[in-house]
């Protein structure tokens, strides 16, 4: 992957930030609030301790810590573009929290291609929280194609997005409340219309728009349900 969509693609800068002890702030801060929100939401959506879970763009494990606590041992898996964020999440969050025995180190892998096939398991649930808000929505299509082979029939993959009203002028920035984030169709932080989100859905997935889920920066939620008959 050569494109540069956001500061997350500048891996050397990320390495320095993490070395400076900023692994919580570089992924957006709000550490406790956004970790707890993801866990609460997923439990409301039916996540059970025995489910195999993939956290796509898991970063430094803001959700990984509460989800590892909740899930049975060996059920949480994470992929991120940054090995440094994964290392910081494991060494500075999982280990001090006493959770290392529940999360094997090789359940976290770094690649830019949303590739979770190397784990050799099938997933029941997953999330990409504040990931596709930092890249064009076409990358979501790439992710859905990459994840389709590793999701069980009926598996549920949750994806957050900034919604762009259909009637806003093509180039106009969109302000969001709460949070005050201003989003764009073609640069970070990225937004998407629901029409574009539907168009980004690849074969083998059914899209349900959930919408509001109490996100403090007005990110909305989409659910992709794996339907193998649709491949």
Ligand X SMILES: C[S@@+](CC[C@H](N)C(=O)[O-])C[C@H]1O[C@@H](n2cnc3c(N)ncnc32)[C@H](O)[C@@H]1O
Q: Please check whether residue 48 is in contact with residue 77, taking contact to mean a CB–CB distance below 8 angstroms.
A: no
Nearer to ligand X, 85 or 197 (CB): 85
Q: Phi then psi for 116, rounded to 5 degrees?
A: -115, 15
CB of 114 to ligand X, least distance (A): 6
Q: Please check whether residue 167 is in contact with residue 193, taking contact to mean a CB–CB distance below 8 angstroms.
A: no
Nearer to ligand X, 21 or 165 (CB): 21
Nearer to ligand X, 5 or 227 (CB): 5
Nearer to ligand X, 63 or 108 (CB): 63
Q: Please check whether residue 45 is in contact with residue 157, taking contact to mean a CB–CB distance below 8 angstroms.
A: no
3-state secondary structure of 42: helix
Nearer to ligand X, 154 or 212 (CB): 212
CB of 33 to ligand X, least distance (A): 11
CB of 167 to ligand X, least distance (A): 28
Report the candidate in 105, 59, 111 with the shortest Cα–Cα distance to residue 85.
Answer: 59
Nearer to ligand X, 7 or 228 (CB): 7
CB of 116 to ligand X, least distance (A): 10
CB of 37 to ligand X, least distance (A): 9
Q: Phi then psi for 98, rounded to 5 degrees?
A: 75, 25
The pair of three-digit structure tokens given for residue 111, joined into one six-digit string: 């690649």
Q: Which residue of the chain is nearest ligand X when measured via CB?
A: 59
Distance between CA 74 and CA 68 in Å, rounded? 8
Q: Please check whether residue 127 is in contact with residue 223, taking contact to mean a CB–CB distance below 8 angstroms.
A: no
CB of 53 to ligand X, least distance (A): 13
- Give contact residues for ligand X (rule: CB under 6 A): 8, 27-28, 34, 57-59, 62-63, 79-82, 85, 112, 114, 129-131, 134
Look up residue 79 and give its DSSP letter: E
Residue 124, C-beta contacts closer than 8 angstroms, at least 6 positions apart: 51, 52, 53, 151, 152, 155, 156
Look up residue 156 and give its DSSP letter: E
Token pair 């929280």 in the structure block, residue: 129
């Amino acid at each position: 992957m050569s494109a540069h969509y956001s500061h997350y693609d500048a891996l050397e800068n990320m390495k320095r930030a993490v070395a400076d002890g900023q692994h919580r702030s570089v992924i957006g801060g709000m550490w406790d609030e956004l970790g707890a929100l993801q866990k609460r939401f997923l439990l409301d959506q039916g996540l059970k301790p025995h489910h195999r879970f993939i956290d796509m763009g898991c970063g430094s494990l803001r959700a990984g810590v509460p989800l590892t606590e909740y899930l049975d041992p060996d059920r949480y898996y994470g992929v991120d573009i940054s090995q440094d964020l994964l290392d910081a999440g494991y060494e500075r969050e999982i280990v001090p929290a006493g959770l290392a025995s529940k999360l094997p180190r090789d359940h976290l892998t770094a690649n830019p291609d949303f590739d979770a096939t190397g784990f050799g398991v099938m997933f029941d649930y997953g999330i990409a929280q504040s990931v596709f808000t930092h890249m064009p929505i076409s990358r979501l299509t790439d992710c859905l194609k990459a994840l389709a082979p590793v999701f069980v029939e009926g598996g549920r993959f949750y994806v957050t997005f900034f919604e762009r009203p259909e009637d806003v002028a093509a180039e106009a920035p969109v302000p969001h409340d709460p949070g005050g984030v201003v989003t764009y169709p073609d640069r970070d932080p990225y937004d998407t219309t629901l029409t574009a989100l539907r168009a980004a859905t690849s074969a083998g997935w059914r899209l349900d728009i959930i919408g509001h889920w109490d996100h403090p920066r007005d990110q909305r939620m989409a659910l992709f349900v794996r339907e193998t008959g649709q491949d």
